[in-house]
Structure 1
Amino acid sequence: MCVILVCGMARATYVGLMAGTRIALVTGATQGLGLALVEGLAARMAGGDHVFLTGRDPARVEAEVGVVAGRLTGAGAEVHGRVVDVTSTASVQAAADAIAAEYGGIDIVFSNAGSRMSPDRAPAEEVDQVAETYNHGALRMLRSFGPLLRPGGRFFVVASALGTLGQLDPRVRAPFERARSLDDIERIVESWRRAVHDGSATELGWPGWLNLPSKVAQVAAVRVAAAQRRERDLADGTLIAAVCPGLIDTAASRPWFTDMSRAQTPEEAARALLDLGLAPSVDPKYYGELVQFGAVLPWEGVATTPEVVSTT
């Protein structure tokens, strides 16, 4: 397996790209679920395929590419490191432009970057980073990499079973029901963020736990993006979906739970996502939906058990 690091906007030139070569990219891939997704993709994709391990810290990206190289042997995809900060529109667009120039498109995207939250901090202290990473980050990825998705490709936003409308007060649910574009979702996220900062969030109906509106906004972004391209994508077997990996035992989730006995390791949590992403064909029922362990979670529903998903 060949390992190459490409930092910032610098671009390596790859010679002899074969027809049928697949390109995959994972954000937030320097630890946890993201790293497990990179390792799983590299192991299960073919020789000559390419997997991009991305994160915002060049040193960590380089280190984790080396870790993956040490763990994987034999045939498999080439793993490349690339610095991508999903809180920066310029960084995401530069990565998309480089992928387009190098390969002409992309086949598998896991928009997985997240921001760690603490039960010991006030929502106003964390909402900016949560909104910029989970929400605007997913919007940036959809806008920049969505157009690069090849026929038969897969684009996943890693979300949560908490990302359903039933989690929200009807007063703040209505804007999501009316949303028809990524711009609409962006405006809702900014309205929520302002309300958290000015202290009006509770009065307006927003839940106190930032994870709830953030996850709903992620799934809503997937739904409106999918609605805009549904006919074409379904015709060529392309899938856009939100995915919930379930509870993962990481440093990000442990502060929120006293019992982690049913939590998965990142490697265990990655399996269902990889199965869906690498399946030769997918059931159209998944298109534009929130999927967990092969089941579609109803948009209007309510999660039966709370969860925190670590995506960093």
Structure 2
Amino acid sequence: MNASRIALVTGANQGLGRAFAEGLAARMNPEDLVLLTGRDQRRVTDAAAEVGRLPGARARVEGRVLDVTDTDAIARLAEELRARYGGVDVVISNAVARVLPEDSQAARADEFIDVSNTATHAVLRSFGPVLRPGGRLLVVASSLGTLGHLDPRLHHLFDGASLDQVEYAVESWRSAVHNRTAQEAGWPVWLNVPSKVAQVAAVRAVAAERRGQDLATGTLIASVCPGMVDTATSRPWFSEYSHAQSPTDAARAVLDLVFADHVDPALYGELVRFGKALPWHDGTPPVEQDRILTP
């Protein structure tokens, strides 16, 4: 990677996102910059100061307010980093909307889709072009993001789709939720399942267009599954936590991808968990009565 590297993490003032920022600050160099982003100015400022003061922190850490539901703000930040630094070296798209098991999935659909999917599309569109050679662009998803977790009637919407087609499928899903026709069309009640599949499909779409050039320059675009993580967002969904990782532990395997000397072509564009690609077509549709998520 280039000297004076620039790293950006979304949804980074707490939980897994903060662990990513802490790990980047510890493993990057003093001349490098980690941008810790979130929606709330005070939380972002406090978190950046705390991460920068950690004993192991080496890189500079700055807080930046970024509401990922504002796609124009994402585009402006990408352009700013291009103009000021010539681009960006590491982007970890991590922001997620917190939904509780007792919440109405339909009522929370717009917020969830905007944070997880519309934002992912914007990050890929805006930061892909400013990712410097040798860089890393990673989208945090989950093992629910493999195609087999969707009803087979929906597979054609995402399998081999372009980013525009993925975006269209997501908006069609959103409309079906609002029109109360989602289940009839095969969409699961859980927002997390189609959302994660769409995130992985969006990454695959962008990666398919860039694969040759990126592999030639040691650049990696992928989605990642950190496994079961003990955070405020995930804890309400699990009945048993004995195997859950701390955010710090969960961040480690993802950061190993960031700092790997070489890009494994088998991981490029794929959903990666603990250093291995998960087969895109694997998985089975969830049983709606089972409220427990899979990491």
CA distance in 2, matches of 1:55, 1:289: 26
Q: Structure 2: where are the runs of 5+ without partners? A: 287-291
Report what 1:11 is aligned to. none
CA contact (8 A) 1:161 1:307 kept: no
- Residue by residue over 1:64-106, the C-alpha shift from the partner in whole angstroms, topping out at 9 and shown as x without a partner, is 01211232356x1111111111100121111111111210111
**Alignment partner of 2:145: what SS?**
coil
CA distance in 1, matches of 2:31, 2:192: 39
- Deviation for aligned residue 1:43: 0.4
Q: 1:104 aligns with which of 74, 86, 89?
A: 86
- Deviation for aligned residue 1:308: 5.6
Is 1:142 paired with 2:134? no
Report what 1:12 is aligned to. none
Q: 1:285 aligns with which of 266, 273, 277?
A: 266
CA contact (8 A) 1:118 1:255 kept: yes
RMSD of aligned C-alpha atoms?
A: 1.6
CA distance in 2, matches of 1:149, 1:303: 35
CA distance in 2, matches of 1:190, 1:155: 24
Is 1:49 paired with 2:32? yes
Letter in 2 for 1:275: D
**Alignment partner of 1:249: what SS?**
coil
- Deviation for aligned residue 1:276: 0.7
Report what 1:65 is aligned to. 48
Report what 2:275 is aligned to. 294
Report what 2:222 is aligned to. 241
C-alpha distance 120-248 of structure 1, shift in aligned 2 (>3 A): same
Identical counterparts, % of pairs: 55
Report what 1:275 is aligned to. 256
CA distance in 1, matches of 2:8, 2:21: 8
Letter in 2 for 1:226: A
- Deviation for aligned residue 1:303: 7.1
Is 1:159 paired with 2:159? no
C-alpha distance 303-58 of structure 1, shift in aligned 2 (>3 A): farther
CA distance in 2, matches of 1:304, 1:138: 23
Q: Which deviates more, 274-283 or 64-73?
A: 64-73
CA distance in 1, matches of 2:172, 2:105: 15
CA distance in 1, matches of 2:275, 2:159: 25
Report what 1:94 is aligned to. 76
Report what 2:67 is aligned to. 85
Report what 2:169 is aligned to. 188
Letter in 1 for 2:263: V
C-alpha distance 73-268 of structure 1, shift in aligned 2 (>3 A): closer
CA contact (8 A) 2:90 2:137 kept: yes
Report what 1:30 is aligned to. 13
Report what 2:289 is aligned to. none
**Alignment partner of 1:243: what SS?**
strand
TM-score (norm 1): 0.89
C-alpha distance 72-95 of structure 1, shift in aligned 2 (>3 A): farther
CA distance in 2, matches of 1:148, 1:183: 19
Letter in 1 for 2:211: R
Q: 1:124 aligns with which of 106, 110, 117?
A: 106
**Alignment partner of 1:38: what SS?**
helix
CA contact (8 A) 2:23 2:255 kept: yes
C-alpha distance 261-157 of structure 1, shift in aligned 2 (>3 A): same
Runs of 4+ in 1 over 4 A off after TM superposition: 303-306
CA distance in 2, matches of 1:109, 1:227: 18
C-alpha distance 84-308 of structure 1, shift in aligned 2 (>3 A): farther
Superposed, which structure 2 residues align to 1:209-228 within 5 Å? 209-228=190-209
CA contact (8 A) 1:290 1:297 kept: yes
- Residue by residue over 1:175-200, the C-alpha shift from the partner in whole angstroms, topping out at 9 and shown as x without a partner, is 112512x2111110011011111111
CA contact (8 A) 2:149 2:285 kept: no
CA distance in 2, matches of 1:283, 1:141: 23
- Deviation for aligned residue 1:307: 3.8
What is the total number of aligned residue pairs between the two structures?
289
TM-score (norm 2): 0.94
